[in-house]
Chain A
Amino acid sequence: MHYFAPQQSVATGDETHRSSSGEGMSRTLQLALQESREITPMGIAGEEGGTDRVPQSALFPDGTKNFDEDEEEIQVEGELTDVDGINPEMKLSDLTDAQIIRLTQDLQEEESARRPLISPIEPLSELAEEYATGSRTVVDKLSYLERIGWRGVRRTRGDGDCFYRSLAFSYVERLLLAPDPALAVAMSLSTLQETRHLLDEAGFQQLVYEDFYDVLVRLISSIISPPGPYEPLLSSPGLLAAFQDAETSNSIVVYLRLLTSGYIRAHEEEFLPYLFSPDTGDLLDTRDFCEREVEASGKEADHVQEMALARALNLCVRIAYLDNSLGGQGAEGKVDFVTFESEQEGGNGMHEIALLYRPGHFDILETRDTE
């Protein structure tokens, strides 16, 4: 591990910082609360020949590159005046601890209220409308996706967990909608049971992962057997509600992170050349990479994590790159898909899992345009 260097923090009322920002408390607090997330420009060639993941500019309609920052920029404004005895003119150092804590909680709640962890399906055309005055390339790509059958998008919150959450939702939804759910669920549970060995081998104590595992297994089992007396089988609205519930949703995200880490650790020789720190570009050893870039909450996934998780779950995952590059195979407006395949993936008539990637963020592609 590494330690914090004892340099001054923003939240403690650093004089230089506060005076240079010139915007009083709200800006200071915003900086203090903001977890800035960087786009991770590391690319391993995908299995179809590869699209390097290079940050493109102006990918979001308002010109921001990063979804996470976009969200947090908005959250602070306008909400500060109503907090007891606090007004936007005050500086952070004027506030009592209680006021700071209250303010922090309010902002976090405000953030939660603003966008659910995962949203109902909306037509892909609505996403295109957001780009109407922006990138023509992106609009063309969205209409290409629609033409090939991806009519809807299910958005996830931009909190750094979006890859894991999107994949988890799609994974369970695919079982729920399978032609033979009993078979699909049985196969999935058997795969998940096996994944526990990966975690054991990675050295995780059972007590640190079993609660998260149980949440995922209970949800999947409820597709075919009621979770308790008088409780219904899992339905599509029930699935959405489960993934909007912070504890359930985040527990599943944690399990998938641990699984990803366990898979990378178990296949170290394969992944080692690609284990870079997204911040410094330095090569990391397997343990450091897994602890800092996989297990740590809110760390975004890149190719290594995507490939590892797809393989650990025996899944085929396709990721559509919605960026400003011109189509990879020469056709304008065409969208590059990177596919992570697993050898054992049978399919059994189940639909494919496809995610939509915009630099810094993942959502889910759906063939339906509404719930």
Chain B
Amino acid sequence: MATILTKRLNKELREMQTHGLPTGITIVRADDLSEWLLSVEVLGNTLYEGEKFCLRFEFPHNYPIDSPAVTFVADDKWTAPVHPHVYSNGHICASILGPEWSPVLSVVSVCLTLQSMLASCTSKQRPPDNDKYVSHAPRNPKNTRFHYDDDTV
């Protein structure tokens, strides 16, 4: 049934393979249509120079009408970037992953947005409620209803 999902992800993959990925972004794993991993580096003179992060995209059956669940991988191998909108469990507070998701966004455009979010960061710190959130957080960040009102970071 999920024909749009299949068509769209295959197209996105083909696009990445034929036209290449933006600087700093590489595919770690994209061998099925349920979960992709992409690495993100923030190049140039930023707070994250020399660091490399991994983004996990989990696609709902009605992607791209519904948003993917996007988290920074936080395990033995990867850590989530220290950023005011990124929890240590990898959950990200970004409006485009929630109520402002639109089907015109793609895996690559989400990676670029998050890369630019990191690039413009001026102070490396965790969200103030990190510990409290992480201790109660659902596995899937889409089950969290974030409050969002900060345009500045």
Contact = CB atoms under 8 A, between A and B. Distances in A.
A5 B2 contact: no
B143 A3 contact: no
Given A247-B3, A250-B65, A7 B147 contact: yes
Nearest to A257: B102
Nearest to B102: A295
Q: How large is the interface on A (under 10, 10 to 19, 20 to 34, 35 or more residues)?
A: 35 or more
Contact of A4 (B11, B106, B148): B148
Q: How large is the interface on B (under 10, 10 to 19, 20 to 34, 35 or more residues)?
A: 35 or more
A31 B66 CA distance: 20
Nearest to A35: B99
A260 to B, nearest CB: 12
A243 to B, nearest CB: 15
Contacts of B3: 247
A254 B8 CA distance: 14
Nearest to B151: A2
B100 A4 contact: no
B103 A254 contact: yes
Interface stretch (A207-215, A316-324, A327-335): A207-215
A187 interface: no
A254 B105 CA distance: 12
B113 interface: yes
Contacts of A246: 62
B93 A10 contact: no
B30 interface: no
B132 interface: yes
B100 A296 contact: yes
A296 B101 contact: yes
Nearest to A251: B4
A246 B140 CA distance: 23
A75 interface: no
11 contacts: A1-B94, A3-B94, A3-B153, A4-B94, A6-B87, A6-B130, A11-B144, A205-B104, A211-B7, A292-B100, A296-B99
